[in-house]
């Protein structure tokens, strides 16, 4: 039987203390897929998809490959949406091939349904941790410290980013919280309340569009390898 080890939030944040930002790991809970099977008997490695630095820049790792379906935008957008992060402050980074990201096989129309929930949970959990840190910072009830597109809701907080990662990190690293990172802080609803029109329905341009129009979509590592004499293979046809 596959064993997936729960990592406490406290442990994760302590581990992140050496980095420049808040780093949140979360579980990808599909046990029956090849990645989990391949990990049989081995300790589960948490996937690290999200980091927030002290300037408020949100970096989200796209673990699946962009092949025209928009998945490099789609999955980070799910996380950013639940995080209440302003998309203009989000930087999407393409993951290298690495087992720590789980199954990176991008085919079969599986990426969204496999990763929608894990990405959503990662965003929601991080948002609630930051909201809790903000409530402690401002000495206000947590219910009044709901994030709104990266900023606090009250007029006096309107220009104050909710993402002071250093403060959040120090607070949570010192807390006694030890639950699964996907469950969120005690007593808080995991997902934010949604309304159909809260996020503007507009096109979110993919990360590579400026490169596309110059003929360099970003797959050059494997496609631009030159093999001498290969052109002559066409003469066989």
Can you give the binding site for another protein, defined by CB under 8 A? 66-70, 203, 205-206, 208-220, 223-224, 226, 228, 230-231, 234, 237
Closer to another protein at the Cβ: 106 or 137?
106
Q: Give, as one character, the DSSP assignment of residue 58.
A: E
Radius of gyration of the chain (CA): 20
Question: How far apart are CB 206 and another protein at their closest, in Å?
Answer: 8
Question: How far apart are CB 202 and another protein at their closest, in Å?
Answer: 11
CA angle 15, 18, 23 (to 5 degrees): 60
Q: Give, as one character, the DSSP assignment of residue 148.
A: B
Closer to another protein at the Cβ: 109 or 193?
109
Closer to another protein at the Cβ: 185 or 217?
217
Question: How far apart are CB 109 and another protein at their closest, in Å?
Answer: 14
Which residues in 45-79 are b (16+ Cβ under 10 Å) and which e? Answer: ebbbbbbbbeebebbbbbbbbbeeeebbbbbbbbb
Closer to another protein at the Cβ: 41 or 229?
229
Closer to another protein at the Cβ: 25 or 206?
206
Query: Three-class SS of residue 139?
Result: coil
Cβ-Cβ contacts under 8 Å for 71 (sequence gap 6 or more)? 62, 64, 65, 106, 111, 112
Cα 89 from Cα 102, distance rounded (Å): 26
Question: How far apart are CB 64 and another protein at their closest, in Å?
Answer: 13
Question: How far apart are CB 225 and another protein at their closest, in Å?
Answer: 9
């Amino acid at each position: 039987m596959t064993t997936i080890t729960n990592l406490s939030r406290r442990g994760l944040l302590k581990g992140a203390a050496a980095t420049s930002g808040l780093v949140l790991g979360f579980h990808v809970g599909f046990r029956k897929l090849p990645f989990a099977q391949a990990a049989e008997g081995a300790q589960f490695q948490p996937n690290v998809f999200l980091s927030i630095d002290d300037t408020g820049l949100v970096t989200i790792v796209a673990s699946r490959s962009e092949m025209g379906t928009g998945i490099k935008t789609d999955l980070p957008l799910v996380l950013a949406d639940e995080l209440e992060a302003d998309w203009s402050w989000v930087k999407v980074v393409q993951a290298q091939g690495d087992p720590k990201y789980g199954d990176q096989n991008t085919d079969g129309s599986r990426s969204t349904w496999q990763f929608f929930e894990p990405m959503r949970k990662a965003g929601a959990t991080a948002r609630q941790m930051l909201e809790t840190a903000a409530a402690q910072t401002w000495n206000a009830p947590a219910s009044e410290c709901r994030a709104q597109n990266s900023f606090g809701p009250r007029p006096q907080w309107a220009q104050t980013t909710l993402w002071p990662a250093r403060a959040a990190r120090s607070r949570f690293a010192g807390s006694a919280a030890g639950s699964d990172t996907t469950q969120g802080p005690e007593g808080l609803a995991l997902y934010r309340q949604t309304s159909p029109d809260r996020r503007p329905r507009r096109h979110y341009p993919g990360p590579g569009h400026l490169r596309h129009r110059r003929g360099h979509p970003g797959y050059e590592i494997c496609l631009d390898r030159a093999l001498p004499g290969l052109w002559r293979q066409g003469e066989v046809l």
